Amino acid sequence: MNDRVMQFRVGVMVLASAIIAGILIVLFGDLPSLVQATYPVQMNFTDARGVAEGTPVRKNGILIGRVTTVSLDERGGVRVVADVDSYVPVYRDEQPRIKSTLLGDAEIALVPGRIVPPRTRLGPDEVLEGAVSRDPFEVFSTLEPKLGGTLDSLVSASESVSRLADNIDRIMLGDDNRFENLARKTERALDAFTLAMDNTNDVLGDAEARRRLRESINALPDVLVQLRGAVKGIGATVDSADRNLRNLEGLTRPLGERGEGMVARIDATIGRLDEVLTQAVGFTRALNESDGTLGRLVRDPAVYDDLSVAAANVKRLTQELRPIVNDVRVFTDKIARHPEQLGVRGALDRGPGLK
């Protein structure tokens, strides 16, 4: 193989490599596509800082086009036109957003909004309203005062922690015995708590005590119902007492208004009662005297015997007079009914009469 053939082959390989590298750069690099069909997409921004011709347009992080025109519109905003690959659909719910990097480079990202199927593709004359993400340096500048305040707060907090540590060190390791007193009090409190828990365990550890406690808890609703009824009864009693007090007030008010006259009448009544009591005293004195009639009646048995005999005679006389009274009644009845029969025979006839 001579040198000319070798040079020819090397030249062919170099030329083929250059062609392949160019094709790869065009297809996968950042250079504008020369073989891919595109369509324009119009976008409006209030501020298009960093956007220029050739600025990449990405969707979900993938390069889909580049900016071709940047101009001011009649509303005072910025009109941006980008050529997007024809196979990539752009929908009405998507929003173009300008993002800036720390190096000052800008790119436009299409961020999908609220997706409600079916989605509608953007028309040829429709314009997407865009937004601008804040510059990282601007965000940092706005955060600088807050970071300063945060650092001051951290310094103050560190000083407070340092003072707290000093106080704890002084309490724990110093000459002050407050920590020892606190420890002793804590130990006594724990002992008391342990004793209380032991007592509680002694009470609740008994099955019979637990059964009674359970029965008491189960009976608690009935007790509450009875208590509610008792409270209602107390309320009714209070209402009745209130009515009685009002009635008593209605009774005592006239008594208070006529109190002077009533007191006068009570005084006169007491005077008459005193006179009656005086007469009763005189009567009892006369009864107690042996020479008086009542005294002899009480003390002399002979007087009592005479009165008893007189009473017996009166009783016997009454029994003897009863037939006579009956005859007189019959006689008067006959006279009243048949006065023509009046005579000796009619008067002495003890027949059944003319009734």
CB atoms within 10 A of CB 24: 10
At residue 138's C-alpha, the angle toward residues 132 and 141, to 5°, is 160
Which amino acid, one-letter code, is at 77? G
What confidence score (pLDDT) does residue 142 get? 65
Which of 49, 108, 103, 104 is closest to 83 using CA atoms? 108
What confidence score (pLDDT) does residue 354 get? 46
Which of 76, 88, 92 is closest to 129 using CA atoms? 92
What confidence score (pLDDT) does residue 266 get? 78
What confidence score (pLDDT) does residue 88 get? 92
What confidence score (pLDDT) does residue 58 get? 94
Distance from C-alpha of 318 to C-alpha of 325, rounded to nearest angstrom: 10
What confidence score (pLDDT) does residue 232 get? 84
Q: Report the b/e string of 104-125 with b at 16+ CB within 10 A.
A: eebbbbbeeeeeeeeeeebeee
pLDDT by residue for the chain (355 residues), tens only, comes to 577 778 888 888 888 898 988 887 766 655 555 557 899 999 999 988 889 999 999 999 899 999 999 999 888 899 999 999 999 999 999 999 998 876 778 999 999 888 778 888 998 889 999 988 776 656 556 666 676 777 778 888 888 888 877 777 666 665 556 667 777 888 888 888 888 887 777 766 777 777 887 888 888 888 888 888 888 888 888 888 888 877 777 767 776 677 677 777 777 888 788 787 887 777 677 666 656 665 666 666 666 677 777 778 777 777 777 787 777 777 777 777 776 665 545 555 555 544 4
What confidence score (pLDDT) does residue 355 get? 42
What confidence score (pLDDT) does residue 51 get? 92
What confidence score (pLDDT) does residue 139 get? 59
Tokens, residue 81: 């036109």
